[in-house]
Amino acid sequence: MTLAYAIRSRWDGLSGRAAHLPDRLEDLRGPCAGVVVLPVHLTWHGLREFDVSRAESRLVLYSILLGQGRRGELARFVNARRLAEDWPALAAMLSERLRRACERRLGLPGPGCAVPAVLAVPADRPG
């Protein structure tokens, strides 16, 4: 079991989560590299620092934020390009309800679908 699965949000998938999602994927302006330090209210397990350059760390961070974060926290800490790239792995970690809400609200691809070309931002461009 990976760390990402071990600290999966207990709030994941509650009916009100969709209201906390930004209106568009492009509203997510988080960093694509470096360390993010989450506010204490999001880190009940004690882990507060996440290196968004590392895939596993980023998946844990994004699962926490999607499961518990407020709209402004999602916009501040989640990077749209990274989320789109990580979506196949991240979607498998979320409840079906939250996964569907993200797919509808943010235009992320459903299971078995490719990432839309509009989301495939070249790596040398800031996300």
Residues in the chain: 127
**Integer CA distances (angstroms), 118 to 15, 45, 85, 106, in order:** 29, 36, 12, 13
Which pLDDT value is given to residue 5?
43
Section 85-95 average pLDDT: 95
Closest CA to 90 of 72, 105, 75, 78: 78
**Integer CA distances (angstroms), 83 to 40, 74, 118, 126, in order:** 23, 11, 13, 13
The larger pLDDT score, comparing residue 95 to residue 118, is at 95
Q: What is the pLDDT of residues 14-73, one digit of tens each?
A: 446 677 899 999 999 999 999 999 998 888 677 899 999 999 999 999 999 999 999 999
The residue with tokens 């590299």 is 33
